[in-house]
Amino acid sequence: LLCLVKGNTAANAFSVKISRDEPVSELKKAIKTEKAPEFDNFPADRLKLWKVPISDDHDDQLRNLSLEDSDELLAIRKISKYFPDSPPEEHIRVLVSPRPTVRGYYSLQFYREPETNEWIQVECRC
């Protein structure tokens, strides 16, 4: 399957070899492996994949593509559910987007000091 990371042009497309009998979750793992080290900092299940039938010479379509949830590939379904036949050559079939990962947050807490009756602010970066 020819794949492309969202925001890139067809010149950056890459191929992933995988059986159509595998679930989409295995395709996510194969894409993560193929895109190492770029995709090393998050698990494969954080990838979102969409089915897109776009010829490799249509970068304008890739830039202006509107992604619908109905086009998203579900991890539990077999690849053959989305691609029952061999894909045509030179067509990008899967658009890949890594979901953002939360790396941390700030927590502000206030409490009143009993002896002085003053409010104290405690900041925690987790």
Cβ-contact 46, 101 below 8 angstroms: yes
Cα(93)–Cα(108) distance, rounded to whole angstroms? 46
Residue 107 lies in a domain: no
H helix runs in the chain, sequence order:
24-34, 59-63, 79-82
| Domains held by the chain: number | 1
Residues 6+ apart with CB under 8 A from 86: none
The model's pTM is: 0.73
Cβ-contact 40, 48 below 8 angstroms: no
Cα(84)–Cα(78) distance, rounded to whole angstroms? 10
pLDDT in tens, the chain (126 residues): 999 998 888 889 999 999 999 999 999 999 999 999 999 988 999 999 999 878 777 666 666 676 765 589 999 999 999 999 877 778 888 999 887 555 555 555 666 667 777 766 666 554
Residue 112 lies in a domain: no
Which CATH number is 11's domain given? 3.10.20.90
Residue 67 lies in a domain: yes
